Amino acid sequence: MVKLTWYGHAAWLVEFERHTVIIDPFLKDNPKSPVKPSDLKKIDFVVVTHTHSDHIGDAYEISKEKGAKLVSLYENIIEADKSGVKEENIAAMNIGTQVDFGGIKIGFVQAVHSANCTGTVITADNVTIYHAGDTGLFGDMKLIGEMYRPKVALLPIGGYFTMGPKEAAMAARMIKPEIAIPMHYGTWPPIDSNPREFQEILKGEVKVPILSPGETFIV
Ligand code: MN
């Protein structure tokens, strides 16, 4: 069983049986997040797709306070120790393959965006979650689907900075997850897209739960 809790925007708490991961923990300044970093309990890994403030958010603070391993691309976090993150908690990787952190594997994949953005594929308990980061549509999403067979794809649908509902639906058709959950919409006016549009396009093809911020989906 894997529990996925959406904190609004691209922030997700992923609770595997033994490992708890927070992805893109934009909490304090996130108008939709029902939690602040101090409300979090056990966090083992903080995974960051890129350094835009709506993604790296409170990552350093959470890593410091929870003793969690901070995982991102090299340039994104190599100087995190200057902000007080313990050196042994900095996993400065790059796009390529999943790294085994002891029962949980975390990898980065391509995303089409600025700021060196990535997607991330996280596997534990025989379940793979693909968080696409901020991205436009690109053909190699098909390859990511074939390579990692994610059960769940978390896809941005807000438009303006990322895919909109139509592009994200095409992405889901390429990735072929069992479940596709929309994210990165509704935070502010420019990204107020309609998740029902995404759901409607994929009707009968991919399961699309629409979550409210703070809601948990169990896989
Ligand atoms: Mn963003």
For the stretch 165-212, pLDDT in tens is: 999 999 999 999 999 999 999 999 999 999 999 999 999 999 999 999
For the stretch 80-121, pLDDT in tens is: 999 999 999 999 999 999 999 999 999 999 999 999 999 999
User: How many other CB atoms are there within 10 angstroms of residue 126's CB atom?
Assistant: 7
CATH architecture for residues 3-218 = 4-Layer Sandwich (3.60)
pTM tops 0.75: yes
Tokens of residue 122, six digits: 């996280």
Domain ranges of the chain: 3-218
Around ion ligand 1, residues with a beta carbon closer than 5 Å are 54, 134
In the reported structure, the alpha carbon of residue 25 is separated from the centroid of ligand 1 by a whole-number distance in angstroms of 11
If we measure between CA atoms, which residue out of 117, 106, 176, 113 comes closest to residue 141?
176
User: What DSSP designation does 214 have?
Assistant: T
In the reported structure, the alpha carbon of residue 128 is separated from the centroid of ligand 1 by a whole-number distance in angstroms of 22
